[in-house]
Amino acid sequence: MNNYSYFQVKDWLDDPAFQRWVYHGEQDAFWKEFIQDNPGQLSNIEQARELLLAVRGELDALPDSEVKARVSEILNAIPEEKLRALPWWRSNWLKIAAVLLLTLGIATALFREKENLQNLQSLVAGLGDGDQPGQLEIHNETNAIQLVTLPDGSSVILKKHARISYPAAFAADRREVRLRGEAFFEVVKNPEKPFLVYAGSMVTKVKGTSFSIKANDDEEDVQLVVKTGVVEVSALEEDGKSEVNAGKKLILKPNEQVTFNRKSLNMVTKTVQKPVLLNLPAESQNFEFKRTPLAEVFAELETTYGIRIQFDARAIAHCTLTARLGDEPVHEKLDLICTVVNARYQAQGNEVVVASEGCE
């Protein structure tokens, strides 16, 4: 059975059961219940549904002259710096995808409002080059931290200038991402599906843990420090695929740090008092609450993950939380909190809306 909880827009478009629901209303009760239980998927489902309805032929096809005019209009509306920030292959795919979508006659639905330009970028971001098909890349161009939720639900907090690339859907036997810059990871536990981070010539392998990586392009050393769990570190050949001396691997535990030299491939470890490498709140925050007002809990989550949580202050005025949250990704923390206080939430990007009937 498909794990719909981690579906992206492309996955919904390819799913036969979802198509039958959109086109014929099959299993309507199931889908309504799924959306109610997984509010974080609402945005993806809405986009996929709109695309399926459009592709079915509910919009008229456009003549070639109109296609060219619309493509020009769309590309002119996207700031030039946005296109320059994309890898060459992705900016070209953006243009190609715009032509294809318009030719299919769905431009009216996709580009009705300015916000839909962002939808286009999201939809075509997964069109990679020949070597890495379906790759997504997030580049934090802001001065603040940026939360990225991976397909398996894992959380990544990117610092300024950091970028991470990953597939729209992870492989059946592993979860692979590539990092440039500085980031903090909270990985969903899955012993059967290892999580690998490639940073320069260093590869980090975990099964569910939290750790920080500092891998700046202008620095010869890559550093990693473990907050929770166990981490395995090894080096790669220049091709980035085969391991150098596969038998030489380091196993790191909490409060242990490794410094990896890109040129010599040497690794030096040490023990640290606190697992703080990037000076991020998430590195030192333990999330221990004892009768803590829910508003304060949400405030800590906002500061730690760089998200915005909206809620009715009056509705949760009497709600408190007594719990110790570990290294779970932010959405697992929200699931637990909302279960305890009988609330529910909906997440769209880094915006979270919490609905609660209150606590007695």
* Per-residue pLDDT tens digits of the chain, which is 360 residues long: 467 877 877 778 778 888 888 877 778 888 888 888 887 888 788 877 766 665 444 334 444 455 445 444 434 444 444 444 434 334 444 444 444 444 444 444 344 333 334 444 444 343 333 345 468 899 999 899 999 999 898 999 999 999 999 988 888 899 999 999 999 999 998 888 999 999 988 999 997 789 999 999 999 999 999 999 999 999 886 544 545 455 578 999 999 999 999 888 899 999 999 899 999 999 988 888 989 999 999 999 999 999 999 999 999 998 998 888 888 899 889 988 888 888 899 888 789 999 988 886
The three-class DSSP label of residue 99 is: helix
Whole-structure pTM value: 0.62
Of 285, 288, 147, 275, the C-alpha closest to 223 is: 275
Phi-psi region for residue 357, left (φ > 0), alpha (ψ -120 to 50) or beta?
alpha
Residue 299 one-letter amino acid: A
Residue 103, CB-side half-sphere exposure with 13 Å CA sphere: 7
Q: Which residues, at least 6 apart from 341, have a Cβ–Cβ distance to it below 8 Å? A: 294, 316, 319, 321, 356, 359
CA 270 to mean position of chain CA atoms: 31
Partners of 176 in the beta sheet?
196
Q: Which of 227, 211, 340, 210 is nearest to 273 (CA)?
A: 227
Domain with CATH 3.55.50.30 in the chain: 285-356
CB 196 within 8 A of CB 179: no
Residues of the chain with CATH 2.60.120.1440: 135-271
Helix axes 294-305, 330-340, angle to 10 degrees: 170
Q: Which residue has the tokens 């769209």?
A: 348
- For 152-170, give the DSSP string: TS-EEEE-TT-EEEEESS-
Architecture of domain 285-356: 3-Layer(bab) Sandwich (3.55)
**CATH entry 3.40.50.12280 includes domain 135-271:** no
Give residue 350's pLDDT: 83
* 16: β partners: none
310, HSE (Cβ side, Cα atoms, 13 Å): 7
Helix, strand, coil % in the chain, rounded to nearest 5: 35, 30, 35
